């Protein structure tokens, strides 16, 4: 199939195009040179006056797998009123903050997104993650594998055997068909199995004597040594607490010299405020990010309305259950992880929610380099991904931002920096934070740009003053050169790919793992790998 998207204003930051008028030619799912296509035979689209961008790349969302599905199952009230009927070759589904799998793919298409990374999967249940990924159409995907509370890793650290830890991590990524190392509240999730948590980077993990600092440093070193395309992806300690900004800054310092991605840092950028209301410490956190060139972040911007919080951070979720009184799922996972789910509604009239909202925006506006700060709502934790157009408008339109700020509770507004921040993102910068930047941080060479050789994932928008309206209704969306959405409505269901890594390791480790599994797990070593049995193949992305 050949395609020409002609005469559009191209925003392709990686190839230094900032609105230049030009053509994009596509053949066999890739962007090619004009000479590579028979232009008479190609289907063409007149994009004159339209904005042409690479398809969106979401670096952090919870869309599939064990915890997401428990959230779906727990929340019938979340789906009602958000259903989608079958039509043509498109499947029916139920939406809300935790949509069903097919609808998740369709809803991303309707925003112009074509690549999404599943933010966490415990390896014991990652087969479930991959089953659901097969049922998410229209997106290329990958899954991050949680390791920050893994017993084998912590034992290697305690035994001072970093090489063994490296071999294990390499084996585990391959066995789970994962894409990156994820760390969630290192040590804190293990301590939660004793009803406790960690509060400092040098607190001890019960039973192992190791510390959160040692865990993150070990895994960051391993990610660098293995040459993983994406660095360690870290949800730090004290999420949601008034000590979180301090420990986030300490975390950045502890990982100096490493590549590192800190996710949804909005939730980890608070200090103590007056009257039990946290205050934004975006200035301090942004300064630390600005000063550390190896650090990338996504924000986890709060959206007012319904959300479903779900993380591997079990003690956090328990605290949220106590605070809100809302229903609570906890799930301790043997040998490696845990998790919790609590529904929540963010309200502008709630002083804490208001503080969270403005903390996220301050971070977006105070971090200087758009190549190191990415658009996310930590879907569905801070809000659903379907609200990305609203976040884009908040970043591009300071009047709209101020208007919404005025609706916040007075205690949230008091002393806030946000109204003094005049910065407005440009379209080119939006293309960086939602496409080019996350693709670069993920090491996905074929994503996030429209240069020759790139995947033909293209979103075409009609520019209008209301940027939320603009990004809510792309004129055309192509996934691998196939039209999947038109005028903001999905029109096709095409299979996506799943990316994974398979770093080298010393195969001798498997002998030890076989013995380890007999004691550590209730599942046989041979049945643990996501590769055992059938299932759709993943596409291996090279380490290097």
Partner 1 sequence: MSTVVEHVTCPFCGCLCDDLTVEAEGVEIRKVRLACSSGQGIFMDYDPRPRRPLVDGREVEWENAVAEAASILSAADSPLIYGLSSSASEAQRKAVALADRIGAVIDSTSSVCHGPTGLAMQAVGEPTCTLGEVRDRADLLVFWGCNPDASHLRHFPRFSLTAKGALTPNGRADRTVYVVDVRPTGSSKKADHFLQVDVGSDFEVLTTLRLLVKGKEPSVDTVGGVPVAQLKELVERMKSCRYGVAFMGMGLTMAPARQLNVAELFTLVAELNEFAKFSVLPMRGHGNVTGADQVLSWTTGYPFAVSFARGYPQFSPGEFSAVDMLARRAADAAVIIASDPGAHFPAAAAAHLERIPTIVLDHGPSVVASHARVVFPTAAYGVDAAGTAYRMDNVPIPLKRVISTGRLTDEEILDRIIEAVA
Contact residues: partner 1, CB under 8 A: 64, 66, 69-70, 72-76, 78-79, 83-87, 91-94, 96, 98-102, 124-125, 127-128, 131-132, 135, 192-195, 318, 321, 327-335, 341-342, 519-527, 532-535
As measured in angstroms, the least distance from the Cβ of 322 to partner 1 is: 8
Instruction: Tell me how far apart the alpha carbons of residues 317 and 475 are, in angstroms, rounded to a whole number.
Output: 40
Supply the minimum distance, in Å, between the C-beta of residue 64 and partner 1: 7
Handedness of CA 392, 238, 215, 383 (dihedral sign): negative
Q: Which helix (H) or strand (E) holds 7?
A: strand 2-12
- Taking the complex as a whole, how short is the minimal distance between the CB of residue 172 and partner 1, in angstroms? 16
| Least spacing, CB of residue 533 vs partner 1, in Å | 4
CB of 435 to partner 1, least distance (A): 28
CB 12 within 8 A of CB 54: yes
Q: Nearer to partner 1 by C-beta: 400 or 521?
A: 521
Total number of residues shown for the chain: 544
User: Which residues share a beta bridge with 337?
Assistant: 333
| Residue 157 vs residues 165, 166, 345: alpha-carbon distances, Å | 7, 11, 40
* Closest by Cα among 180, 130, 147, 146 to 530: 130
Q: Please name the residue that has the structure tokens 């300490």.
A: 250
Residue with tokens 């039990």: 276
SS3 state at 120: strand
* SS3 category, 342: strand
Burial 284-297 (b: 16+ CB within 10 A, else e): bbbbbbeebebbbb
Report the residue number, 141 or 446, with the smaller CB distance to partner 1: 141
CB of 235 to partner 1, least distance (A): 21
Q: Which is nearer to partner 1, 190 or 203 (CB)?
A: 190
In angstroms, the Cα distances linking 177 to 305, 332, 340 are 35, 22, 24
Q: How far is CA 455 from CA 27, 110, 446, in A?
A: 10, 18, 5
Query: Shortest distance, CB of residue 537 to partner 1, whole angstroms?
Result: 15
CA distance 60 to 297: 10
Pairing of strands 279-280, 270-271: antiparallel
Least spacing, CB of residue 231 vs partner 1, in Å: 28
Nearer to partner 1 by Cβ, of 402 and 514: the residue is: 514
Residue with Cβ nearer partner 1 (194 or 209): 194
Q: Which is nearer to partner 1, 331 or 424 (CB)?
A: 331
Which is closer to partner 1, CB of 135 or CB of 159?
A: 135
**Of the two residues 100 and 248, which places its CB atom closer to partner 1 in the complex?**
100
CB 151 → partner 1: shortest distance, Å? 9
Specify the residue, 410 or 533, whose C-beta has the smaller distance to partner 1: 533
Minimum gap (Å) between residue 108 Cβ and partner 1: 16
Q: Beta partners for 53?
A: 459
Residues 278, 280: Cα–Cα separation, whole Å: 7
| Minimum CB distance to partner 1 smaller for 348 or for 380 | 380
> Is 150:176 a contact under the CB 8 Å cutoff?
no
- Residue number with CB closer to partner 1 (289 or 310): 310
* Minimum separation from the CB atom of position 527 to partner 1 (A): 5
Residue reference for tokens 């305690």: 158
- Of 134 and 424, CB closest to partner 1: 134
The first and second tokens of residue 513, run together, are: 């793992």
**Shortest distance in whole angstroms from residue 236 CB to partner 1:** 23
Contact 205, 156 (CB under 8 A): no
In contact, 102 and 94? CB cutoff 8 Å:
no
Residue labelled with tokens 């190191």? 372
CB of 251 to partner 1, least distance (A): 27
Nearer to partner 1 by Cβ, of 23 and 332: the residue is: 332
Residue partners of 533: CB distance under 8 A and separation at least 6: none
* Cβ 102 vs Cβ 93: under 8 Å: yes
- List helix spans (H) across 349-489: 351-366, 388-396, 398-406, 410-413, 427-431, 437-442, 467-472
């Amino acid at each position: 199939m050949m395609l020409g998207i002609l005469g559009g204003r191209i925003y392709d930051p990686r190839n230094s195009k900032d609105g230049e008028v030009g053509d994009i030619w596509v053949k066999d799912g890739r962007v090619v040179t004009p000479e590579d296509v028979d232009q008479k035979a190609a289907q063409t689209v007149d994009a004159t006056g339209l904005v042409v961008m690479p398809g969106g790349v979401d670096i952090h969302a919870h869309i599939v797998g064990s915890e997401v599905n428990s959230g779906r199952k727990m929340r019938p009230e979340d789906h009602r009123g958000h259903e989608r009927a079958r039509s043509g070759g498109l499947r029916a589904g139920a939406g809300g903050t935790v949509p069903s799998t097919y609808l998740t793919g369709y809803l991303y298409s309707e925003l112009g997104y074509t690549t999404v990374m599943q933010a966490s999967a415990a390896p014991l249940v990652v087969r479930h993650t991959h089953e659901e990924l097969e049922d998410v159409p229209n997106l290329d995907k990958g899954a991050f594998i949680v390791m920050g509370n893994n017993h084998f890793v912590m034992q290697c650290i305690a035994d001072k055997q970093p090489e063994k830890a490296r071999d294990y991590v390499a084996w585990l990524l391959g066995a789970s068909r994962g894409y990156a190392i994820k760390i969630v509240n290192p040590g804190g999730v293990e301590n939660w199995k004793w009803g406790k948590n960690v509060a400092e980077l040098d607190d001890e993990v019960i039973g192992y004597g190791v510390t959160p600092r040692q865990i993150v440093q070990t895994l960051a070193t391993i990610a660098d040594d293995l040459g993983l395309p994406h660095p360690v992806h870290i949800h730090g300690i004290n999420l949601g607490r008034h000590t979180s900004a301090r420990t986030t800054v300490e975390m950045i310092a502890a990982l100096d010299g490493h590549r590192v991605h800190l996710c949804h840092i909005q939730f980890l950028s608070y200090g103590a405020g007056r009257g039990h209301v946290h205050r934004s410490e975006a200035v301090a956190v942004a300064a630390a990010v600005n000063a550390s060139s190896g650090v990338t972040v996504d924000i986890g911007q709060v959206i007012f309305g319904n959300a479903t919080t779900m993380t591997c951070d079990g003690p956090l979720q328990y605290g949220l259950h106590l605070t809100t009184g809302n229903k609570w799922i906890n799930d301790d996972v043997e040998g490696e992880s845990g998790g919790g789910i609590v529904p929540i509604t963010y309200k502008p009239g709630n002083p804490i929610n208001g503080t969270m909202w403005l903390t996220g925006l301050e971070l977006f506006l105070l971090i200087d380099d758009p190549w190191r700060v990415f658009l996310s709502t930590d879907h569905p934790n801070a809000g659903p991904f379907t609200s990305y157009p609203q976040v884009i408008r908040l970043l591009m339109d300071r009047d709209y931002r101020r208007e919404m700020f005025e609706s916040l509770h007075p205690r949230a507004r008091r002393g806030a920096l946000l109204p003094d921040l005049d910065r407005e993102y440009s379209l080119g910068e939006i293309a960086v934070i939602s496409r080019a930047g996350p693709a670069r941080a993920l090491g996905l060479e074929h994503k996030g740009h429209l240069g020759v050789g790139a995947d033909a994932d293209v979103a075409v928008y009609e520019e209008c003053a209301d940027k939320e309206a603009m990004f809510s209704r792309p004129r055309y969306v192509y996934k691998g050169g196939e039209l999947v959405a038109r005028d903001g409505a999905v029109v096709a269901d095409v299979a996506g790919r799943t990316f994974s890594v398979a770093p080298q390791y010393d195969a001798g480790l498997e002998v030890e793992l076989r013995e380890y599994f007999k004691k550590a797990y209730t599942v046989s070593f041979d049945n643990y790998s996501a590769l055992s049995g059938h299932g759709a193949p993943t596409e291996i992305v090279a380490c290097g």
